[in-house]
Amino acid sequence: MIVTVTPNPSLDRTYELPGLVVGEVNRAAADRLDPGGKGVNVARALTAAGLRAAAVLPLGGDPGRLLGDLLRRQGIDVTAVQVGGDTRINVTIVERDGPLTKVNAPGPRLTEDESAALLAAVRRQAGGSGVDWLACCGSLPRGLAPGWYADLVAEAHAGGARIAVDAAGPALAASLRAGPDVVKPNRAELAEAAGRPVTTVGGAYDAAQELRRLGARQVLASLGPDGMLLVAEEGSWYGTAPVDRVRSDVGAGDASLAGFLGAGGAGPKALASALAHGAAAVRLPGSVMPIPADLEPDTVTVTADIPWELPLGR
């Protein structure tokens, strides 16, 4: 089983528009409401793939109750920690053949008691029998220190589980020192963590190796439409998955992490699974997670020959 931890979950409201006109009344062609938050999405993608997943998260107010209900309806084992502040609501605007605009709310501030209760809930779930991975994903809410994920890395390893961290900024930097089994930065997060721009696949490889020197055992780097890179002690691989039309990239990176962990969490086959899941996710509306029928594994290419000079963001 894979246990996901989402310290700052959300309800994700997505509006699809022909085009966004700032300062005017815009009428959506379609809209949807989905459970949100990186770890939540990983759990949803694993469940959609027929794998067992549990989600640990703080929930507050009416938005929190609705989020918990939506997850349970999708067959996800939810461990909810009740908090006083309302769960945040994020808004995404998808323009047809245009850019994607997101507005992410800050979320509630957790008290010391709420923070302690969340940590205790994670310990109970991660300490259970049959837990293969603990996936800690997303931003930390106000009230949690940057080293919170690092503490979980140490505890997971002490309990015999492997741990994945998908975070940014100080939370990612702190977690590296504890030696997570895999981190999943995107291009911007990779550059920030390494302290230098990333403009080519070779540059992404060098930055990933820097994260490994800082403590990560594997780096699964998402390069957006330019593919993904997996850098580990056993070897390094680069892969791509073509997508004709992007409908929404909300949650695509989370689907990729789910595909990677669900396929064992190491090596080229897991990278291929990550690419297939991510490509399937961007073809779906809102933050809908792909089911096996949505995947196109035959279109995925993975190679150990790194295209060092290939520019990113072309």
Q: Determine contact, residues 207/193, Cβ cutoff 8 Å.
A: yes
CB atoms inside a 10 Å sphere around CB 59: 20
User: What residues does 229 pair with on adjacent strands?
Assistant: 221, 238
Classify residue 166 by burial, with Cβ atoms within 10 Å: 0-12, 13-18, 19+: buried
Closest CA to 37 of 13, 64, 10: 10
A 10 A CB-CB count for 258 gives: 32
What is the spatial distance between Cα 78 and Cα 114, in angstroms, rounded to a whole number? Answer: 17
Q: Which residues are marked as active site?
A: 254
Q: What are phi and psi of 171, to 5 degrees?
A: -65, -40
* CB neighbour list of residue 142: distance below 8 Å, 6 or more residues apart: 106, 107, 108, 109, 110
CA distance 257 to 262: 8
Amino acid at 184: K
Which residue(s) pair with 53 in the sheet?
A: 2
Alpha carbon distance 288, 205 (integer Å): 30
CA–CA dist 144, 148 (Å, integer): 6
Angle, CA 234 vertex, CA 230 and CA 240 arms, to 5°:
25
